[in-house]
Amino acid sequence: MASRRRVRRGLGRAMAVARAVAVGSLLALAAVSPSMPGLAAPLKTPRAAPALSAQPLAQPLPSWREGPTKARILAFIASVSREGDAAYVPPAERIAVFDNDGTLWSEQPMYVQLAFAIERARALVAQQPELAANPVLAAAAAAGNGEAVLTMGTKGLLELVTITHAGMSTEVFRDLVREWLDGACHPTWKRPYTALTYQPMRELLDHMRANGFRTYIVSGGGVEFMRVFAEEVYGVPPEQVIGSTVGTQFSRRAGRPVILRKPELQVVNDQAIKPVMIEQVIGRRPIAAFGNSDGDFEMLEWTTSQPGSRLGVIIHHDDPEREVAYDSPSAFGRLDRALREAPRRGWSVVSMRDDWSQVFAAPAAPGDSAGAGGANRCAGGTGQLPEQPAVVPGEMPRVEEAPAGRQP
Amino acid sequence: MASRRRVRRGLGRAMAVARAVAVGSLLALAAVSPSMPGLAAPLKTPRAAPALSAQPLAQPLPSWREGPTKARILAFIASVSREGDAAYVPPAERIAVFDNDGTLWSEQPMYVQLAFAIERARALVAQQPELAANPVLAAAAAAGNGEAVLTMGTKGLLELVTITHAGMSTEVFRDLVREWLDGACHPTWKRPYTALTYQPMRELLDHMRANGFRTYIVSGGGVEFMRVFAEEVYGVPPEQVIGSTVGTQFSRRAGRPVILRKPELQVVNDQAIKPVMIEQVIGRRPIAAFGNSDGDFEMLEWTTSQPGSRLGVIIHHDDPEREVAYDSPSAFGRLDRALREAPRRGWSVVSMRDDWSQVFAAPAAPGDSAGAGGANRCAGGTGQLPEQPAVVPGEMPRVEEAPAGRQP
Q: What is the DSSP string of B336-370?
A: SHHHHHHHHHT-EEEEHHHHBS--BPPPPPTT-HH
Tell me how close the Cα of B241 comes to any Cα of chain A, in angstroms: 8
Of B239, B248, B276, nearest to A282 by CB-CB distance is B239
**For residue A68, pLDDT beyond 70:** yes
What pLDDT shows up at residue A375? 52
Q: Cβ of B249 under 8 Å from any chain A Cβ?
A: yes
Q: Cβ of B297 under 8 Å from any chain A Cβ?
A: no
Tell me how close the Cα of A139 comes to any Cα of chain B, in angstroms: 31
What rounded mean pLDDT belongs to chain A? Answer: 78
How far CA A198 is from CA of A57, A326, A354, in Å, comes to: 19, 16, 14
Nearest-angstrom CA–CA distance, B77 and B309:
10
**For residue B95, pLDDT beyond 80:** yes
Q: Locate the chain B residue with the closest alpha carbon to A247.
A: B11
Give φ, ψ of A376 to 5 degrees. Answer: -65, -40
Indicate whether A22 belongs to any domain: yes
Sign of CA dihedral B128, B134, B135, B140: negative
Q: Cβ of B245 under 8 Å from any chain A Cβ?
A: yes
Tell me how close the Cα of B10 comes to any Cα of chain A, in angstroms: 6
Three-class DSSP category at B390:
coil
Cβ contact B224–A305 (<8 Å): no
Per the structure, how many domains does chain B have? 1
What pLDDT shows up at residue A398? 36
**For residue B92, pLDDT beyond 80:** yes
Cβ contact A259–B247 (<8 Å): no
**For residue A376, pLDDT beyond 60:** no
Contacts of A9 in chain B (CB under 8 A): 249-250
Nearest-angstrom CA–CA distance, A190 and A187:
6
CA atoms within 13 A on the CB side of B83: 3
Which of B219, B240, B250 is the mutation pick for testing A, counting most A CBs within 10 A?
B250
Of B14, B249, B266, nearest to A9 by CB-CB distance is B249
Which of the listed ranges A105-109, A131-135, B73-77 does the model predict with the highest average pLDDT? B73-77
Find the mean pLDDT for residues A181-200.
Answer: 88
Q: Locate the chain A residue with the closest alpha carbon to B231.
A: A92
What pLDDT shows up at residue B54? 46
Find the mean pLDDT for residues B110-128.
Answer: 88
Which CATH number covers residue A24? 3.40.50.1000
Cβ contact A283–B249 (<8 Å): no
The interface predicted TM-score (ipTM) is 0.80
Contacts of A15 in chain B (CB under 8 A): none
Indicate whether A263 belongs to any domain: yes
**For residue A189, pLDDT beyond 90:** no
Residue ranges making up the domain that contains A215: 4-108+197-366
Which of A209, A213, A279 is the mutation pick for testing B, counting most B CBs within 10 A?
A279
Length of chain B: 408
Three-class DSSP category at B246:
strand
Of B249, B272, B283, nearest to A239 by CB-CB distance is B283
**For residue B364, pLDDT beyond 60:** no
What pLDDT shows up at residue A49? 39
Tell me how close the Cα of B92 comes to any Cα of chain A, in angstroms: 8
pTM of the model: 0.81
**For residue B32, pLDDT beyond 80:** no
Contacts of B273 in chain A (CB under 8 A): 250
Report the percent of chain B where pLDDT is more than 90.
Answer: 52
What pLDDT shows up at residue B162? 81
Indicate whether A34 belongs to any domain: yes
**For residue B107, pLDDT beyond 70:** yes
Indicate whether B387 belongs to any domain: no
Contacts of B14 in chain A (CB under 8 A): 13
Nearest-angstrom CA–CA distance, B11 and A401:
16
Find the mean pLDDT for residues A151-173.
Answer: 85
Q: Which of 260-279 (A) contact B at CB < 8 A?
A: 266, 272-273, 275-276, 279
Q: Which residues contact B292 (CB under 8 A, 6 or more apart)?
A: B99, B102, B103, B107, B314, B315, B316, B317, B333, B335
What pLDDT shows up at residue B333? 79
Indicate whether B38 belongs to any domain: yes
Indicate whether B408 belongs to any domain: no
**For residue B287, pLDDT beyond 90:** yes
**For residue A181, pLDDT beyond 70:** yes
Contacts of A275 in chain B (CB under 8 A): 250, 257, 259
What pLDDT shows up at residue A207? 98
- pLDDT bracket for residue B392 (50, 70, 90): very low
Contacts of B250 in chain A (CB under 8 A): 9, 272-273, 275-276, 298, 302
List, for residues B227-252, the tens digit of each pLDDT value.
999 999 999 999 999 999 999 999 99
Cβ contact B279–A170 (<8 Å): yes
Which of the listed ranges A216-230, A377-391, B389-403 does the model predict with the highest average pLDDT? A216-230
Q: Cβ of B51 under 8 Å from any chain A Cβ?
A: no
Find the mean pLDDT for residues A265-290.
Answer: 96
Find the mean pLDDT for residues B142-157.
Answer: 70
Q: Cβ of B372 under 8 Å from any chain A Cβ?
A: no
Nearest-angstrom CA–CA distance, A259 and A209:
32
Indicate whether B40 belongs to any domain: yes
- Which amino acid is located at A74 in the chain? L
Out of A44-58, B13-27, B343-357, B374-388, which region has the weakest mean confidence (pLDDT)?
Answer: B13-27
Peptide bond into B129 cis (omega under 30): no
Q: Which of 71-110 (B) contact A at CB < 8 A?
A: 92
**For residue B8, pLDDT beyond 60:** no
Tell me how close the Cα of A69 comes to any Cα of chain B, in angstroms: 26
Which of B280, B298, B344 is the mutation pick for testing A, counting most A CBs within 10 A?
B280
**For residue A211, pLDDT beyond 60:** yes
List, for residues B177-211, the tens digit of each pLDDT value.
999 999 998 877 788 899 889 999 999 999 999 99
Find the mean pLDDT for residues A293-314.
Answer: 97
Cβ contacts below 8 Å, chain A against chain B, sum to 92
Name which residue leads in pLDDT, B284 or A185.
B284
Chain-centroid distance, C-alpha A394: 30
What pLDDT shows up at residue B394? 35
**For residue B5, pLDDT beyond 90:** no
Q: Cβ of A6 under 8 Å from any chain B Cβ?
A: no
Q: Cβ of A239 under 8 Å from any chain B Cβ?
A: yes
What rounded mean pLDDT belongs to chain B? Answer: 78
List, for residues B305-338, the tens digit of each pLDDT value.
999 999 999 999 999 999 889 888 776 778 999 9
List, for residues B259-271, the tens digit of each pLDDT value.
999 989 899 999 9
Name which residue leads in pLDDT, B275 or B41.
B275
The secondary structure of residue A295, as a DSSP letter, is G
Enclosing H/E stretch for A257: strand A256-267
Out of A189-198, A219-228, A375-384, B361-370, which region has the weakest mean confidence (pLDDT)?
Answer: B361-370
Q: Locate the chain B residue with the closest alpha carbon to A253.
A: B305
Nearest-angstrom CA–CA distance, A111 and A4:
14
- pLDDT bracket for residue B20 (50, 70, 90): very low
**For residue B365, pLDDT beyond 90:** no
Which of the listed ranges A317-326, B69-78, B260-269 does the model predict with the highest average pLDDT? B69-78
What pLDDT shows up at residue A362? 62
Cβ contact A257–B305 (<8 Å): yes
**For residue B3, pLDDT beyond 50:** no
Confirm if B188 and B45 have CB atoms less than 8 A apart. no
Sign of CA dihedral A187, A192, A194, A196: negative
Confirm if B30 and B316 have CB atoms less than 8 A apart. no
Q: Cβ of B223 under 8 Å from any chain A Cβ?
A: yes
List, for residues B41-56, the tens digit of each pLDDT value.
333 333 334 434 445 5
Cβ contact B239–A301 (<8 Å): no
Of B92, B223, B266, nearest to A11 by CB-CB distance is B266
- pLDDT bracket for residue B61 (50, 70, 90): very high
**For residue A112, pLDDT beyond 50:** yes
Out of A248-262, A355-369, B16-30, which region has the weakest mean confidence (pLDDT)?
Answer: B16-30
Contacts of A170 in chain B (CB under 8 A): 279
Contacts of B257 in chain A (CB under 8 A): 275, 298, 301-302, 305
Indicate whether B326 belongs to any domain: yes
Out of A108-112, A119-123, A232-236, B38-42, which region has the weakest mean confidence (pLDDT)?
Answer: B38-42
Tell me how close the Cα of B389 comes to any Cα of chain A, in angstroms: 22
Pick the closest to residue B124 from B78, B163, B73 (CA basis): B163
What pLDDT shows up at residue B362? 62
Tell me how close the Cα of B111 comes to any Cα of chain A, in angstroms: 22
- pLDDT bracket for residue A216 (50, 70, 90): very high
